Chain A
């Protein structure tokens, strides 16, 4: 009698701890407690399940756990530039875990207890399998793109009728699923069940193929949400409210992040998933050859050390070049000379929500210096130098006025309103959106070409050198 209540009580405690965990994650001051609460909740939930009388074969569980620990520890130690692909991989694992358990239950009940396959439960199973398996392949594709795996195209791949093919696949999966729900215990249902899974796997791949790098933050957030929802749907299947709750919490967290990302790009969900960014023709109206001014690291160092207020705009290019530690050195040098240095963080800079923040935190830049877009923009007209490091579309003024630009309407950091702009860039290749950035052609802009890590290193040396000659 007591044991019958122990497990539900443990699950209830775990639920409360999960909610507290998310609540504490709102604020950097309490965030460390969030992890502790999450770990405690997970240990309680696992422990309570393990002592259930039905669980009799411990060896296999232990093997699974050992395998997970062996793979999980290295995955937690990846460089922070690789965090987006780690996260995507982890969504894939989450989707797969939920999906596989669903498959196991379906065949278990189909062969032993057909009575369990009520229409409601079968519908939950189908939903859960579609969500879980599309999250699996979709996230693997996203991780592959982020990791720049050779045989996965980085650029968005689009073809005629793409959306019809994708939506058609999904409709087919749902239609077969509905048939299985209506006839769950038939032989044919057991054969159609894997077909639903195959369609979901295929749909996941095709869904991500047209997605470009600039949309990755949104897509990762959506996949985060799906991974949670598939766990929640599994909870419906087996009647486990802990799964329903934890999955729903994860689902809503992913949803909120996806909404924030979409707003930051002034786009809608459907537009991100079915709009294939980068497909719009380049809108360069005038054919005239535009010129850019380029400068040496020494020029940039002069500008920076004579400035009072400097704003640095980091982008994915900084991550690629691993330049964040050099940026920190520059920050130190300038701060030492009394220059006020701030970082302007665009919500979609990088390849996942908050990517720039963790990179700069890794480089030990205090987080008070990281300012959000809406707070920094009013300060831009009083800024002496705006240093753009590997950011492109998020500082393109075309977003404000060029109705033909694919990024028209996207909120940007007003780099062009600073007195002087310095942009560090590998070459004049356009950004992910595949469009020219008119900021680079501005009279006030100085371009410093080269690898961001190298260029900033040279600027730091030049600034330090000046300090040495002055004193």
Chain B
């Protein structure tokens, strides 16, 4: 099973945090809400482990927890990406030529 190398995990965590801080630092205020719904979907990456425990030959209670987690994660992934897309479509760059 998992082979956790404590230090390499911590390195990855610290570096990823800095990358995150750096990359998002200058986000346009316009995009705060879409950014949050996008990260909602991204943090549902726990779906990967949910699938792993649901699909493996583990005792039923474990797999029940897994399937609930799959459900919750997929809900976040689907609604997060779709609503982000929906919000972004609304941001219009140019004034409409005709005002009614």
Q: Chain A interface (Cβ within 8 Å of chain B)?
A: 18-19, 21-23, 25-28, 31-32, 34-35, 38-39, 41-42, 45-46, 49-50, 52, 54-58, 60-61, 63-65, 67-69, 71-73, 75-78, 80, 83, 86-87, 90-91, 93-94, 96-98, 100-101, 103-105, 107-108, 111, 113, 116, 118, 120-121, 220-221, 224, 227-228, 231-232, 234-257, 260, 332, 335-336, 345, 347, 352-355, 357-358, 361-362, 364, 366-368, 370, 372
Whether B74 lies near A250 (C-beta < 8 A) is no
Nearest-neighbour CB distance to chain B for A450, whole angstroms, equals: 25
| Pair B44/A61 contact, Cβ less than 8 Å | no
Contact A97:B46 (CB < 8 A) given known A25-B27, A35-B38, A57-B56: yes
B56 to chain A, nearest CB (A): 5
- Counting chain B residues whose Cβ lies within 8 A of the other chain, the interface size class is 35 or more
Looking at chain B's contact residues, is the secondary structure mostly helix, strand, loop, or mixed? helix
Q: Are B88 and A94 in contact (CB under 8 A)?
A: no
Contact A38 B41 (CB under 8 A): yes
Chain A residue contacts of B82, Cβ below 8 A: 72-73, 76-77
Q: Which residues on the A side are within 8 Å of B55 (C-beta)? A: 50, 54-58, 60-61
Output the least CB separation between B26 and chain A (Å).
Answer: 6
A58 and B51 CA atoms in complex are apart in Å by 9
Q: Contact at B46–A25, with CB atoms within 8 Å?
A: no
Q: Which partner residue on chain B sits nearest A236 by CB separation? A: B9
Sample of 26 A–B contacts (CB below 8 Å): A26-B23, A27-B31, A60-B67, A67-B74, A68-B78, A72-B82, A87-B40, A97-B46, A100-B65, A101-B50, A104-B66, A105-B53, A221-B36, A241-B8, A241-B12, A243-B48, A243-B49, A246-B43, A246-B45, A248-B13, A335-B95, A345-B29, A352-B33, A357-B29, A361-B90, A372-B29
Given contact pairs A94-B40, A354-B32, A366-B95, A39 touches B81 in the complex (Cβ within 8 A): yes
For the complex, give the distance between the alpha carbons of A118 and B92 in Å.
53
Contact B1 A113 (CB under 8 A): yes
A31 to B81, CA, bound (A): 12
Cβ contacts under 8 Å, A220 to chain B: 36
**B34→A252 contact, CB < 8 A:** no
A25–B34 CB distance below 8 A: yes
CB distance from A239 to the nearest CB of B (A): 4
Given A361-B91, A370-B30, residue A100 in contact with residue B42 (CB < 8 A): no
B72 surroundings in chain A (CB, below 8 A)? 68, 93-94, 96-97, 100
How far apart are the CA atoms of A56 and B21 in the complex, in Å?
39
- The reply to whether B26 and A26 form a contact with Cβ atoms under 8 Å apart is yes
A27: which B residues are within 8 A, CB to CB? 28, 31
Taking A101-B69, A243-B45, A364-B90 as contacts, is the C-beta distance between A38 and B81 under 8 angstroms? yes
Most buried by B among A78, A336, A354: A354
Which of A32, A46, A234 meets B88, CB within 8 Å? Answer: A32
CB of B53 within 8 A of CB of A253, answer no
Q: How far is the CB of A158 from chain B (nearest CB, A)?
A: 27
Given known contacts A49-B51, A97-B72, A100-B69, is B24 in contact with A253 (CB within 8 Å)?
yes
> Among B35, B49, B78, which residue has its beta carbon within 8 angstroms of that of A253?
B35
Instruction: Looking at the assembled complex, report how far the CB atom of B2 sits from the nearest CB atom of chain A, in whole angstroms.
Output: 4
Selected from A19, A97, A240, A246, the residue in CB contact (under 8 A) with B23 is A19
Residue-wise interface mask of B (72-91) relative to A, using a CB-CB cutoff of 8 A (1 in contact, 0 not): 11111111111111111011
Bound Cα distance A332, B36 (Å): 30
Nearest residue (CB) in B for A361 is B90
A96 partner residues in chain B, CB cutoff 8 A: 68-69, 72
Q: Which residue of A is nearest B18, CB measured?
A: A252
Enumerate chain B residues within 8 angstroms of A67, measured Cβ to Cβ.
71, 74-75
Query: In the bound complex, do residue A86 and residue B52 qualify as a contact, i.e. CB atoms below 8 Å apart?
Result: no
A184, B40: Cα distance in complex, Å: 32
Which 6 A-B pairs give the minimum distances between C-beta atoms?
A68-B74, A354-B32, A72-B78, A64-B70, A252-B20, A55-B55
Asked if B46 and A120 make an inter-chain contact with CB atoms under 8 angstroms apart, the answer reads no
Find out whether the CB atom of B96 lies under 8 angstroms from the CB atom of A21.
no
Contacts of A231 in B (CB 8 A): 43-46
Known: A25-B34, A46-B47. A250 touches B39 (CB 8 A): yes
Taking CB atoms, residues of chain A closer than 8 Å to B73 are 68, 93-94, 97
Taking each of A90, A227, A260, A352, which has the highest tally of chain B beta carbons within 10 Å of its own beta carbon?
A: A90
B47 touches A97 (CB 8 A): yes
Question: B97 to chain A: closest CB distance in Å?
Answer: 12
Tell me whether A257 and B32 are in contact (CB under 8 A). yes
Known: A236-B9, A249-B39. 11 other contacts (CB 8 A): A31-B91, A38-B84, A90-B79, A100-B72, A238-B4, A239-B2, A249-B20, A251-B17, A345-B29, A354-B29, A358-B90
Q: Chain B residues near A245: list those with CB within 8 A.
A: 12-13, 16
**Smallest CB–CB gap between B53 and chain A, Å?**
5
Bound-state CA distance A116–B54 (Å) is 19
Instruction: Collect the chain B residues with CB atoms within 8 Å of residue A90's CB.
Output: 37, 40, 75-76, 79-80
Would A250 and B13 be within 8 Å (CB), given that A35-B84, A57-B54, A108-B58 are in contact? Answer: no
